[in-house]
Structure 1
């Protein structure tokens, strides 16, 4: 199944239209995506795995997708010239890396999308996730963000091989 996120902030789930947040600067063709451009890459991205905070989800989220509990020292490398670019790392890390265990809780539940990961191309964008939206749905740095209940419902419906489509329409 492919779940669709449109540039107008609509997300399709089981016949329902939900609100979502995409990149602060809009969407862009995946071939033009660049690290730090605050744009979501247009395309269809397989959901690789779900990472969750065990203090928030002690039994893990309900999903058929592969899951992994997050640790407080988990990060994601966003340094294009580092060999671990667009890969999980342990913090502190010698190159630039985003902390996954966050105080704002938007990463309490994260689905890793298959953008620029096989293999990662330096500078083409990292850490394109499906994660929790902030209040008011402000734009993301390139990810897709949903309300907690909506993300939980999506993960409960998703199966291995399912994907998120980020569409320009």
Structure 2
């Protein structure tokens, strides 16, 4: 469970508790969940939740204190995997993308090596082609001469 889900779970758990009044604050989240985080880190986490899913959590810092409101959608969001599931999906997509890029890179390397081999053998191929053209022209001229009867095939 990532930090964003921990905060949502903490807030829904206290919202559903028997206590009459629970006013969640950055300090209560810090005290109960993340004692090693500073206040700005907690605020950053709350802002991330609000930016990604504004329908689940509203956070506002006022002069009177923190206003953190959690909606009823938070429980169903957490039961579907929450931000942890979203993070895992993104990780899987990133892995797939990296695999595709690696395959493309390997393919490019093979294509480059094949092109190098072709360039290395190109002078030989070019020479063989020229010799073949000369032989072909020579045979064509010979056949033309034979067809015109200038060359006696019986002698």
Instruction: Please classify the TM superposition score into its range, dividing by the shorter chain length.
Output: under 0.3
- TM-score by length of structure 1 reads 0.25
More helix by share: 2
Question: Which structure is higher in RCO with an 8 Å CA cutoff and minimum separation 6?
Answer: 1
TM-score (norm 2): 0.26
